[in-house]
Every structure is written in structure tokens, then in C-alpha cells.
Amino acid sequence: MRLFKCLPYLAIVCLAPVASGCGNIQADRCDSVCSCENCGERELQQCEIDVDADYSVAETYGCLGILEPYWECQLQRHECDDNHYSDDNDECDREHREYKECLDAQSTREGGPY
């Protein structure tokens, strides 16, 4: 009888790791980077800050619908050489170009020194 009382909690504990990576493109991107680069806690936190900032910029400029396909492409085609992650902009060139064009079209800022 006690086992039946514990089943709902056991199901939650067992399913939590499966659900944690689903549907969150930001977390998936950092997971991809950190699995390649063997990130420690500090590097993971920095990745999350950088990815969240990129996501916020895309959202602000109305380019989120273009950023997500680009990141999804990178999740499938990135390069990992000697524990160094790099986006594969050859394979994801169209998505990368469309994202940059969206940002450029929405921004009124001129390039130059910061």
C-alpha cells in the first residue's frame, strides 16, 4: 500500500531529467557548447548569460522566429574540435544570414567604435 502512495513522487523524480532538456532552445544550446568544451559551473553560467542575452536581443528586434531555426541548425551541425565549439556557418549559412539580416533591418544603430 505504501508503494502506491510513493508512485506519483517516483514518477516525477524519474521524469524530471527527461523533461529538463525538452523545448528550451537556450538550454539546449549551452548543453551543446558545454558538452563539447567540458564546461565547469562558471563556464556554464557564462554560456547561459550569453545565450539569454542573444535570445533577448532577437526577441526585442522581432527576430526570434529566425534565431531559433539558426540555433536548431547549429545543434545538429556545430563543430567540436579539441574541446572547442564553433558554429558551422557553412552548413547553416542560410539561417545565419537570415538572422543577421533581420537584426540589421531592425536596428537603427550605425556600426562604429563602442
- Residue 32 CA to residue 26 CA, distance in Å, equals 10
By residue range, what is the domain housing residue 43?
24-106
Supply the pTM of this predicted model: 0.69
Judge whether 17 lies within some domain: no
Tell whether the model's pLDDT for residue 109 goes beyond 90: no
Judge whether 81 lies within some domain: yes
Kindly indicate the confidence band of residue 62, based on its pLDDT and cuts at 50, 70 and 90.
very high
Q: Torsion-angle region of residue 83: left (phi > 0), alpha (psi -120 to 50) or beta?
A: left
* Overall domain count for the chain: 1
